Structure 1
Amino acid sequence: MHTNPPSDVGNAATFIAEIYGQDVFNMETMRNYLPRPVYKKLLATIRKDEKLDPDIANEVAQAMMTWALEKGASHYTHWFQPLNGSTAEKHDSFVDVDPEGNLELKFSGKSLVQGEPDASSFPSGGLRATFEARGYTAWDPTSPAFIKRTENGATLCIPTAFCSYKGQALDKKTPLLRSMTAVTRQAKRLLSCFGGPDNIHVSADLGAEQEYFLVDKQLYALRPDLMMCGRTLFGNVPPKHQQMEDHYFGSIKDRVLEFMVDVDEALWKLGIPAKTRHNEVAPGQFEIAPIFESQNLAVDHNMLVMEVLRKTANKHDMVCLLHEKPFSGMNGSGKHNNWSLSAPGYGSLLNPGSSPQENAIFLTLLCATIKAVDEHADLLRASVAKSGNEHRLGAHEAPPAIISIFLGDLLDEIIEQIEKGGTKKARTQKTINIGVDTLPMFPLDASDRNRTSPFAFTGNKFEFRAVGSSQTCAWPMTVLNTIVAESLDEICTILEPVKDKPEEFHATLNKLLQNIIKKHKRILFSGDGYGEAWVEEAERRNLPNIPGTIEALAALETPKAKALFEKYKVVSPVELHARHEIQTEIFHKEINIEAETALLMVETLYIPAVTEQLTQLTTAIAQMKASGIKAGMKATTDRANQIGTLLDILPGQVRELRRAVDEADTRAIQTGMDNLRSTIDMLESLTDADLWPVPTYAELLFL
């Protein structure tokens, strides 16, 4: 539990300053523990993308171990993100013995830089055979090491990439780092076209908003579906849930607020800039959001956020549900990925700025993103394809499965003017002639928000809203970085030959952006993404509408996708194929686990409970007949008949679902589960509360 900070503001500020980053081997700690020449070399690797000098590895390892031991850590681990979407770690102690058998504590540069866990038991999608067990973890110095604590000890965690013996990426981090290199390299070219320095550092940034549910731990333990699947497979919404719109941003209950306070403290100690906490739309649903960071660090931090949420909830006798749709009939949970590129002296490159040069850079990147999303909407959709997200996308609570871009009224108007040649005036009375006249200052809230859009411009960034709450951000960001890199590459290739000829450059740029808008404006949509009218309009625009996971993942197998990722050295065709195989397999396994859990619950919980209810009713009917009581006889008999009719339906539905499972027919499994749910949920409303075998939605949702 947390250590309460002093109540007055001044001391609270001191408290936060003292704990922030205390368990992170960050820049300040490095400066204190490393010799200055070593620190400067490591800093160049972290901030300037320079290769790590192997000669400093031993000194860095020694300093890291000294710091970790002082923090109470007895072990270290290479912390990585395999293709199962989670994190992994193998712990080694610092303990060693000298030739005389005496204890010594050792941590070498070799142990820091590279580890060797068994790769055979992680999903590889065919990249590794079972007997090919060797895998390597490689230190990622751009993401700082940190201390992970338990009540009885601590472990030094070193963020690493994970690859096979042949160098193929077996993790989420490696392709992300490659994609960041690809997009920032092309962004540097773009800035150079506009007179920027050739050696400028460009950062690919991310802010990941995390939604989640909290339920009572004791009630959770009584729901096999929550324990096995992370979501309820059965259950009716209570009479009051989110329809009064009183939970969103409402007053946070004390029990939840105490949990949130502990979460913030744990995250701050890990150097994670947790910023926002609030109630979300559905009862029992909440959100936490951090400040923008470099994508690699933001992804690592989000993985830690999910872990901290789960661990802290457990300490408060609650369970954190990260599934995209824990409860049917109410809002599910997403993870909004706020994406941008930034550079020193420019800030966010998606901030329009106030000078002609800044305006032109902004509009060029904006058009590049429009082009990228339109050309590769299928890949963006595939990047968020998973079984949990199927229940959420397009369910009148989240972005539809149709990928589109929302810009807002002002930018829509500017885009329209560029398409027409930039001759008219915007509402701001400024002529849009790129690179010559000034695009007016574009306030962060110049347009309304559109929560129905999967990809929305929100002031100085794009918000990719379709990412699922349980997903790692790594792959969606890898895809987005790569498609924008391609778009910028093509634009820069046209602009570079004329970049030193101002008049020709501006004419070329105007024509280029005009052509991009004409060709790709179909992806722009500012209306209601939930409505059927948009589905029909999207079909007229020939935009892909891919609601199913398996169908969406097929985009990874196209020649276009393979060529794209190979060209920018993000993933090879064989690595891309492996990801398709793994995600497909995970989908089928998750569906199968859900089906087996549903069958287990129906056969061992629901049928016995409903049978007992029917027995009680028939016994009551018999007693009423014997005593000659007629009042209430019809109502009791009708209820018994309703229950009996539904009970008779269940064996056939169980057989159908079992057959679908045995035949591995995924769509039949989903249909069978829907049919079972419909019957069980009707029985829930007819069965006495004290006989119903699992906690209901009403019990689970209102902490």
Structure 2
Amino acid sequence: MPATLSRSRSHPQGSTFVNGHSSSGDVEAIFGSNTFGLAEMKSRLPKAVYKRLMATIEKGEPFDETVADAVALAMKEWAVERGATHYTHWFQPLTGRTAEKHDSFITPNAGGGAVAEFSGKALVQGEPDASSFPGGGLRATFEARGYTAYDPTSPAFLVEHNGSATLCIPTAFASWTGEALDHKIPLLRSMEALNAQARRALDLFDEKVGRVYATCGSEQEFFLVDESFYLDRPDLVTAGRTLIGAAPPRGQEMDDHYFGSIPERVMAFMNAVETELYRLGVPVSTRHNEVAPGQYEFAPIFENANIAADHQQLMMMTLQRMAPRFGLACLLHEKPFAGVNGSGKHVNWSMSTDTGLNLLEPGDTPHSNTLFLFFCAAVIQAVHTHQDLLRASIATAANDHRLGANEAPPAIISIFLGDQLTDVFEQILDAGTATESKSSGLLGLGSPVLPTLPRHAGDRNRTSPFAFTGNKFEFRAVGSSQSVSFPLVVLNTIAAEAISDMVDRMEAKMGKKSSKKALMSAAQEVIAETIREHKAIVFNGDGYAQAWQDEAAERGLLNLKTTPEALGTLTDEKNVAVFERFGVLSERELESRKEILIEQYATTINIEAATTGTMLRTLVLPAAIRYLGELGEASGAIDGMGLDASGTRDTAGRVVTEVNALTKALKGLDKALEAAHKAKDEAAAMESKVVPAMAKARTSCDEIEKAVPADLWPMPTYREMLFIK
């Protein structure tokens, strides 16, 4: 038996307690209990302070720093009462994950004792080392100063660990020069841009609102493997995915894992994660088995996009932090196992007002809902105009493995509208206006005991990267391990531009006329013009078909298949212009992100290649050679008995062939790496030379795995990792 299977696994499979709290119970009672939310603020802050703080949170008014001391005192008292000993400015540098530096509340006093202190100054501003985070040229190595700034619109929260707790304060992170070094600053800027332009449109339509919010609900797919297997796989530990591994006899072909019964240990883990997320105010609403064996999903409901982005980071952090308590490891990589579905996080995006109006809600008669048609047409224009930006926003080495496969949409950005909306827009194109909407109807199931179901007016399309799904758009191409912030930044900014353009055109058509008739006439004309100019981006068919690749090319749509290709468009003139126009990212800030993303791509491939080489030389080849030694001894023994040893020699011959092929492939991988390091465009060389060399080495390795006995194979196999729970 392999060492990985004989290892003792101690984990609380039936555990119902997390940090001393029951993992079940009244959700309403625990929801948000570890957040310094509105209810806590209202109960602890002076009325005048609470009112000024709410003006910032709900109306976007500038933060009044005169209230900082009162907010800090109330926040500290709340946190200390719940066992907090330290606080941290929790921020999101351009690493894609979060960062934190813990400071103690305890301050020595003159009498030799200590008191718990936390000032408004400590709340509002921190100073981590900016040079140690990715800067993309914004900061030189010797320029170390950077600042974190309190974000009052996202609630502070407690993270509990080993009987104590830390107060985490969501913050933005900027350089000494004021340039954004994180994901939060451009996200907040983009939300403000969208708010301003959407309100211009709503004012034109005489809709009285105070504020428009980008909203987001991001699904999270992930894999779970036994922690002992994870620790015995250097590739999982180092690269987050299996770099070698033969396909098991059974993968996902039976389609029986999807929505299947959740294994007991996984259910215990999910319950504990849900409880923790509820305490942190994360509105998780769905959990289920995903398509691939060992793959699962959580999904929250819609929130303000800034808070949703923070909660997405909290969800990833919680999943990986809590998995070891159940003897598991959580894999967030987009493609941890070859041959089965990878993981994404579909970003469901919309726009809502402070009056409760969803601007992408079509209603029962979308043909007569001019406001909806206006905003929907704006999204169509935005996606068509900036398809390259959307593709670049989800470009990573990991995501390249899944885009275009049967678990993810293709790299070609297109929009799925569905039958009903497509028909409405076609009516507008043909006649200048729409007069009817296809009815949804009812669905009878042929049995009197089953209810008659209301049927949606159109089906869904799982192959579309950007699909309308009833009252929102679902950006399905976002990778499971990445921050949702940059995709949201792009969506908000390009939507703001399209809305602004359409409002300008409507105002020009109306001139000095202000009647409702003039407004509707101008709106219908602008909507028709927009759809006519940008209809090439709408595609309701099979995004996996080769015919679509050909048709997309004829339509002039981009097919940026790899990360280096996609990132190459990031600083094109039109992209720099849209970010600068709305004050979301300066040219320098955008260039820094391009440099960071390209460097991260090249570094990722380099780590994977180096890990592959090490595993093949120190694990795979020694195992194969040991097996050849056993075959040689067996062959000699069989000959000595006067029996036919040809079968044994044939087996040895096949193993030798693959060992020789693997040795040759390893030399090719070394050569490809050396060439990539010397190339002018290292990232492109990594993609064109190193990635294929890794694949070639893997092919021989996987053939060796199929031949070497299980007791000699030095690491857990796909069969073990995917199916043993």
CA distance in 2, matches of 1:86, 1:216: 24
Matches within 5 A, 1:402-413: 402-413=412-423
From 577, 581, 595, the equivalent of 2:591 is 577
What's the counterpart of residue 674 of structure 1? Answer: 695
Alignment-derived partner of residue 693 in structure 1:
714
Amino acid at match of 1:98: N
Letter of the 2:326 partner, please give it: H
1:434 corresponding residue in structure 2: none
Counterpart position of 2:449: none
Q: Name the counterpart of 1:223.
A: 233
- Separation in structure 2 between the aligned mates of residue 413 and residue 658 of structure 1, nearest angstrom: 56
Whether the aligned pair in 1 keeps the contact of 2:128 and 2:148 (CA below 8 Å) is: yes
Pairwise mapping of residues 327-346 of structure 1 onto structure 2 (< 5 A)?
A: 327-346=337-356
SS in 2 for 1:157: strand
Aligned partner letter, 1:577: E
Secondary structure of the residue aligned to 2:569 is: helix
Aligned-pair CA distance for 1:424:
6.6
CA contact (8 A) 2:91 2:100 kept: yes
1:80 to 80, 83, 91: 91
Alignment of 1:305-320 (within 5 A): 305-320=315-330
Residue of structure 2 equivalent to 1:43:
54
Residue pairs, 1:126-137, within 5 angstroms: 126-137=137-148
1:363-410, CA deviations, whole angstroms, 9 ceiling, x for partnerless residues? 001100000000000000000000000000001220000000001011
Once the two structures are TM-superposed, the CA of residue 689 in structure 1 deviates from its matched residue by 1.1
How far 1:650 sits from its partner (Å)?
2.0
Point out where structure 1 has 5 or more consecutive residues left out of the alignment: 5-10, 431-442
In 2, are the aligned partners of 1:420 and 1:514 still within 8 Å (CA)? no
| Distance in 2 between residues matched to 1:299 and 1:423, nearest whole Å | 38
- Aligned with 2:378 (options 368, 382, 393): 368
Question: 1:644-683 counterparts in 2 under 5 A?
Answer: 644-663=656-675, 664=677, 665-666=685-686, 667-683=688-704
Q: CA deviation at 1:421?
A: 2.1
1:78 aligned counterpart, secondary structure = strand
Distance 2:340 2:625 in 1: 30
- 1:52 shift after superposition: 1.2
Match of 1:54 among 45, 57, 65: 65
- The 5 Å alignment of 1:4-23 reads 15-23=26-34
The secondary structure found in structure 2 opposite 1:555 is: coil
- Map of 1:437 onto structure 2: none
Give the AA of the match of 1:521: K
Within 1, Cα distance between the matches of 2:458 and 2:717?
41
Tell me, in whole angstroms, the C-alpha distance in 2 between the residues paired with 1:17 and 1:645. Answer: 63
CA-to-aligned-CA distance 1:457-476 (integer Å, 9 cap, x gap):
00000000000000000000
Report if the CA contact (8 A) 1:421-1:510 is conserved: no
Residue in structure 2 matched with residue 175 of structure 1 by the alignment: 186
Cα displacement (A) at 1:144: 0.3
Tell me the TM-score normalized by structure 1: 0.95
Q: Which residue in 1 is equivalent to 2:608?
A: 594
Q: CA deviation at 1:557?
A: 1.7
Q: Secondary structure at the match of 1:557?
A: coil
* 1:194-234 residue CA offsets vs partner (Å, 9 max, x unmatched): 1112x522111000000000000001111000000000001
**What secondary structure sits across from 1:347 in the alignment?**
coil
Deviations 1:153-211 (A, max 9, x none): 110000000000010000010000000101111111111111112x5221110000000
Measured in 1, the distance between the counterparts of 2:479 and 2:289 equals 18
> Deviation of residue 282 (structure 1)?
0.3
Give ranges in structure 2 of 5+ residues lacking alignment: 1-14, 441-453, 678-684
Q: 1:302 to 1:356 in 2, by over 3 A?
A: closer
Residue 240 of structure 1, CA deviation: 1.3
1:448 to 459, 472, 493: 459
Identity across matched positions, percent: 50
Cα distance in 1, alignment partners of residues 505 and 365 from structure 2 = 23
Of residues 525, 528, 538, the one that matches 1:524 is: 538
Q: Which moved more, 1:103-112 or 1:502-511?
A: 502-511
Counterpart residue identity of residue 463, structure 2: T
Q: TM-score, normalised by structure 2?
A: 0.92
Among residues 392, 397, 401, which one is paired with 1:391 in the alignment? 401
- 2:548 corresponds in structure 1 to 534
TM-superposed CA distance for 1:445, in Å, is: 2.9
The correspondence for 2:576, drawn from 559, 562, 575, is 562
How many angstroms apart in 2 are the aligned matches of 1:297 and 1:487? 24
State the SS of the aligned residue for 2:272: helix
Deviation at 1:149?
Answer: 1.0
Matches within 5 A, 1:264-275: 264-275=274-285
CA distance in 2, matches of 1:147, 1:178: 27
Asked if 1:89 is matched to 2:94, the reply is: no
Q: Where does residue 9 of structure 2 map in the other structure? A: none
Rounded to whole Å, the distance in 2 between the matches of 1:669 and 1:654 is 11
One-letter amino acid of the structure 1 residue matched with residue 94 of structure 2: L
* Amino acid in the other structure paired with 1:617: L
**Cα deviations by residue, 1:305-326 (Å, 9 ceiling, x for unpaired):** 0011111111101000000000
2:89 partner amino acid: H
Cα distance in 1 for residues equivalent to 2:466 and 2:703: 38
Task: Tell me the amino acid that sits aligned with residue 315 of structure 1.
Answer: R
Q: 1:612 corresponds to which residue?
A: 626
Is the aligned partner of 1:639 residue 2:651?
A: yes
Aligned length: 683
Matched, 1:350 2:360: yes
One-letter amino acid of the counterpart of residue 408, structure 2? A
Most deviating of 140-149 and 501-510 = 501-510
Contact kept in structure 2, 1:136 and 1:164, CA below 8 Å: yes
CA distance 1:82–1:192, change in 2 (3 Å): same
**Match for residue 420 of structure 1?**
430
One-letter identity of the residue aligned with 2:524: N
